[in-house]
Structure 1
C-alpha cells in the first residue's frame, strides 16, 4: 500500500492564524470594559502602554497560557494578535514580567471592576434556581506550588505547599465575580467578611433576583451569619460539627426527626431546629440571633463494597439557613454548591493556573484577577457560540472552558488585508466553526 507524500511549502505573502478567537477576546475587552482608559490614568508608563500589556496577557490567558514566556511568538511575528486585541505593540516576555510587577497594586482593583463591568455591559445570561433564587457561591481552593520559593507559598489544608485563593461565583452558569489571592496557610474565614460583602454588592449590580449565598463549613462562624442576616440575603451555610457528640446528636435526630430511608443497609433521618447564637457587636454588647439549622443523620451497616460493619458507621451533617422551605429542599438547594469544584478545576487546568508565573505575591494576585476577567470572556464566548440547539445537547447551562478554547479560540483562519480592512477566511469544511464564530462576533460587535 502506498501513502501520499506531501510537498511542504511556506507562503511568501499569505498569513494564517491558529488563534482566530483572539478577535472575539479583543472585542469583549475593548467594547464591554473600560480597562484601557482606566489603566491609562492609573498607571501611565513610558514605552508600551500598560493597557496594551494587560490586554496581551488577557489574550494569553484566553488561550490557556499563563506563563510570561508564552508571549514570545506573538512578540516576534504575529500581526493578527496585535490587531485582534487592539494594541499598538506586543511586549516581550521580559517587558511583560517587569510591567506586571511594577503596576500590580495599582491596576488590580481596575481589573476586578472590569470583571463585573463585562458581565453587565455584555448582558450575560444569569440563570436562577427553580425556586427563583440566584445562587452566589463562595469557596476557597488551592494551587499546588510545591518546591518553589514564591512569596506567599505555604502549607495548605490540602497538605502541600501553595496558595489558597477564594473566589465568588454567580448564577447557574458560574460567572466569576472576583478572585482574591491568599497565602496557602491563611484560614478560609480570615478576611472573609469583607470579601463576602463585596461579592453581595457586585451581585446586586447584576441581578434583581433574590440571592442565595451558599458556603461550606469553613465559614461556619457567627460573624458570617450576622453579616448574611444584616445584608438581608437568603443563605445556606454548612454546619461544622466541631466539638459535637456525634452519636448522641444522631440518636436525637433519629428519635425526633423524619425518617426518610430505612432498610437493611442503614437509615437516614432529618430534622430542623431553631438555635440562638450569641455574639458581641462593635460596641462590645452581647446580642443574639435565631438561626434555623437542618440536621441529617446517617447510620450505615455496610461498607460501600458490601462488607458488613461490626459497629455501625454514624455520621451527622447540618446546614444553617434562613429559608422557610422544607428540610429536604434545603439540602437539595445546597448540593449545587459542589459545582464550585468544577469551576476551580477549569481555572487551574484549562487556563494553566495551578502553578503561577511570578515569584512576587502582588503580581500573582494580579494574574488571578486577570484570570477572572479572562474566564468570564471565555464563558461569554461559549454561551453565545456553543449553546445553540445543535451544540448544547451535552450541557444545559454552560460549556467547559477547555471546549471553548478548542472550538472557538483555536480556530484556524487566513488573515486577508484588503482596502484597509481585515478579513478572516475559514476553511470550506469548517461550517459549524465558521457559523458559531460569525454568530459570536456579530453578537459582541453589534449586540
Structure 2
C-alpha cells in the first residue's frame, strides 16, 4: 500500500473546465441582452439564467445544487457571472421570469448559437429531417401543478420535442417502400434523445411545483441540450475526439464525462485566465479548438 497523504493549498482548481466553452456558447446565444429587457436591482437577470444553464450543462437540475457553487470562483468566472445566486433567489427569480413569459425567447437563443457556430445539420438527398414526438416524464407521487396520467400509466408530463438533422427519421411518398423502411429505422435513434434529456440533464422529475416554472426550465434545457450536443458534434466525432471508437454523434453523458467534468488548475496571469490541464493534452486540445472556433464564428445569425 503506497504512503498517501492529503494536503490543501492556496491554488485554485476546478473539476468542470468545460464550463469555459459552455460560458462562451451562452454568450454567443445572447443571454446578456436579458438585463435590458428584465432589469433588476439585485442579481442581474442574465446571471440568474446563466447560473441555471450552467447547472443544467453539468447534469444538475435541482435549485439546491447552486449552493455548491456559491463560493466556486471558477464557476462564476467561466460563466462570466457577477454573482452566483442563492437557492431562494434562483427559485424566486425563475418563477418571476416564467410569469413574464421568458420562454418565448429561448428558441431564438438556440437558433443564434447554432447559426453562429455553423452546427452540422446533415441532409438526406436534399432534405433535412425533422423528427417530432412526445415523451413521458414520470413525476409520480408529487403535488406538482399540471401533473396528469400519461400514456405510460404513470403520473407526470408529456412534452413534445423536435430534433433536426439526420439523427431522426424522415419519410417521403416519392420513396420506394424499402427506402421508407430504411429511413424510418433511424427513428429509433430519436428514442435515445428523451432519455438524454431526462437522465443526462437530470430532468426526469422537474424541480418546481409550478407548471409555468417547469415549462421555462424545459425551454432552458433546450439551449443546454444544444450546447452539449454542439460540443459533441464539433469536438468528439472526428480526428480531434479524445474517445477512440468512431461515432456519428456522442451521447450527452459522454460529452459531460470527456469534456465538461475535466480537472484543471486555474491560473490568473497578465489579465488572463489560464486553465492548466497538466498532462491531459487530448482534452485540452479539444477545448482549445472549440474555444477558438466559437471565438471567431464564420457566419452571422439568421
Normalised TM-score (structure 1)? 0.64
Question: Aligned match of 1:121 in 91, 116, 119?
Answer: 116
Whole-angstrom CA distance in 2 between matches of 1:420 and 1:439? 21
Question: Aligned match of 1:158 in 152, 156, 160?
Answer: 152
1:405 is aligned to 256
Secondary structure of the residue that 2:290 maps to in structure 1? helix
Question: Aligned match of 2:266 in 387, 401, 415?
Answer: 415
1:18 is aligned to 15
Task: Answer yes or no: is 1:147 the counterpart of 2:144.
Answer: no
Task: Answer yes or no: is 1:50 the counterpart of 2:45.
Answer: yes
1:337 is aligned to 187
Normalised TM-score (structure 2)? 0.93
2:68 is aligned to 73
Whole-angstrom CA distance in 1 between matches of 2:256 and 2:289? 16
**1:426 Cα shift?**
0.6
Asked if structure 1 preserves the Cα contact closer than 8 Å seen for 2:32 and 2:46, the reply is yes
Whole-angstrom CA distance in 1 between matches of 2:24 and 2:238? 21
Asked if structure 2 preserves the Cα contact closer than 8 Å seen for 1:385 and 1:440, the reply is yes
Between Structure 1 and Structure 2, the one with more strand by share is: 1
1:6 is aligned to 4
1:98 is aligned to 92
**1:78 Cα shift?**
1.1
Whole-angstrom CA distance in 1 between matches of 2:149 and 2:31? 35
Asked if structure 2 preserves the Cα contact closer than 8 Å seen for 1:35 and 1:51, the reply is yes
Whole-angstrom CA distance in 1 between matches of 2:31 and 2:133? 27
Report the RMSD for the aligned CA atoms in angstroms. 1.6
Asked if structure 2 preserves the Cα contact closer than 8 Å seen for 1:144 and 1:160, the reply is yes
Asked if structure 1 preserves the Cα contact closer than 8 Å seen for 2:132 and 2:161, the reply is yes
**1:390 Cα shift?**
6.2
Question: Aligned match of 2:233 in 371, 383, 386?
Answer: 383
Asked if structure 2 preserves the Cα contact closer than 8 Å seen for 1:35 and 1:110, the reply is no
| Structure 1: gaps spanning 5 or more residues | 175-213, 215-234, 237-320
Whole-angstrom CA distance in 2 between matches of 1:355 and 1:139? 19
Over 3 Å counting, the alpha-carbon distance change for 1:87 and 1:127 in structure 2 is: same
Over 3 Å counting, the alpha-carbon distance change for 1:395 and 1:366 in structure 2 is: farther
Over 3 Å counting, the alpha-carbon distance change for 1:141 and 1:395 in structure 2 is: farther
Map 1:275-290 → 2, pairs under 5 A? none
Whole-angstrom CA distance in 1 between matches of 2:139 and 2:21? 32
Asked if structure 1 preserves the Cα contact closer than 8 Å seen for 2:167 and 2:189, the reply is no
Give the structure with higher Rg (CA).
1
Over 3 Å counting, the alpha-carbon distance change for 1:165 and 1:413 in structure 2 is: same
Secondary structure of the residue that 2:234 maps to in structure 1? helix
Asked if structure 1 preserves the Cα contact closer than 8 Å seen for 2:167 and 2:186, the reply is no
* Cα deviation digits, residues 141-173 of structure 1 (max 9, x gap): 000000000011110000000000000100025
2:174 is aligned to 324
**1:397 Cα shift?**
2.2
Asked if structure 1 preserves the Cα contact closer than 8 Å seen for 2:17 and 2:263, the reply is yes
Asked if structure 2 preserves the Cα contact closer than 8 Å seen for 1:35 and 1:111, the reply is no
Q: Number of residue pairs matched? A: 295
Map 1:168-317 → 2, pairs under 5 A? 168-173=162-167, 236=171
Whole-angstrom CA distance in 2 between matches of 1:440 and 1:363? 32
Task: Answer yes or no: is 1:350 the counterpart of 2:188.
Answer: no
Whole-angstrom CA distance in 2 between matches of 1:5 and 1:363? 51
* Cα deviation digits, residues 302-344 of structure 1 (max 9, x gap): xxxxxxxxxxxxxxxxxxx5x2121221222222222221111
Asked if structure 1 preserves the Cα contact closer than 8 Å seen for 2:167 and 2:190, the reply is no
**1:45 Cα shift?**
2.0
Asked if structure 1 preserves the Cα contact closer than 8 Å seen for 2:140 and 2:154, the reply is yes
Secondary structure of the residue that 2:129 maps to in structure 1? strand
